[in-house]
Amino acid sequence: MRAAAFPVSIMKKINWKNELAYLWINYKWFLLAGLMVSAAVVYFLLAALTQKETAISVMLIDCHAAVSQETMDRDYLEAAELDPKSFQAEILTGLMFSGTDSGTYTMTSLSRFMSDIGNESLDVAGMREEDFLKYAGSGTWADLAALPGSENLLKAPDSLLMKDGKTIGIYADALPMLRHYGCYEDPDTRGVLGVIYNSRRKDEALRYLDFLSSMPDS
């Protein structure tokens, strides 16, 4: 008696399983590598699509602010009328060159400062006057008077720090928004802010200093 034939659908199912088993046994590592590469490509594409553009990068070293970094970030984005969904302000207030018992923390702060200057990602920095002047000799600070659009900041000569005929900084106590944030209130030393010489966003750096020179909302 002739044996009944298997339905075609069952045969296809069995063949498909065999093919998958064959591929897995013989090409397992190639398949895994392909999946990892595909996952990495998808991850980087999603990261690129969702990454925010940095509008300004600022370090307020030894600032001792009374408000959070997030508050400062938000205030500047609002003042600059930048959409927080597309832009971010990076205003760091936790770095310290002095007033800490940890030499490691000081070195970490200094390393971050120098690294961000080296990769041209830092736009504005503030610190105690004596520390600020240490970096003047190496050309760290841009000449504010030479930057287009700085006229408003130069109106009060007494608020400016001069060095070798250049206007390299503006004193923190002349910036109402910084006083509002509680930065640089140490009576023994003045804070100074300056624009980094190799900032790629000097126009935005000046807008940030203009923002700090405005009166805070009551």
Tens-of-pLDDT digits for all 218 residues of the chain?
A: 454 554 555 445 456 666 666 666 776 666 666 777 776 666 555 545 557 899 999 999 999 999 999 999 999 999 999 999 999 999 999 999 986 666 788 899 999 999 999 999 999 999 999 999 999 989 999 999 999 999 999 999 999 999 999 999 999 999 999 999 999 999 889 999 999 999 999 999 999 999 999 988 75
Write down the pLDDT at residue 217.
75
> Alpha helix locations (H) across 54-201?
69-79, 103-118, 129-134, 176-181
Q: What's the CATH code, domain 52-212?
A: 3.40.190.10
Number of alpha carbons in the 13 Å side-chain half-sphere of residue 185: 11
Write down the pLDDT at residue 98.
84
Look up the pTM and report it.
0.77
CA distance 171 to 79: 21
Listing DSSP states for 18-71 in one string gives HHHHHHHHHHHHHHHHHHHHHHHHHHHHHHHHHPPEEEEEEEETT---SS-HHH
Task: Tally Cβ neighbours within 10 Å of residue 113.
Answer: 22
Listing from the earlier edge strand, what are the strands of the sheet with 124-128? 87-92, 53-60, 124-128, 191-195, 166-171, 160-163
Number of alpha carbons in the 13 Å side-chain half-sphere of residue 139: 4
Q: How far is CA 32 from CA 24, 37, 39, 44, in A?
A: 10, 9, 11, 18
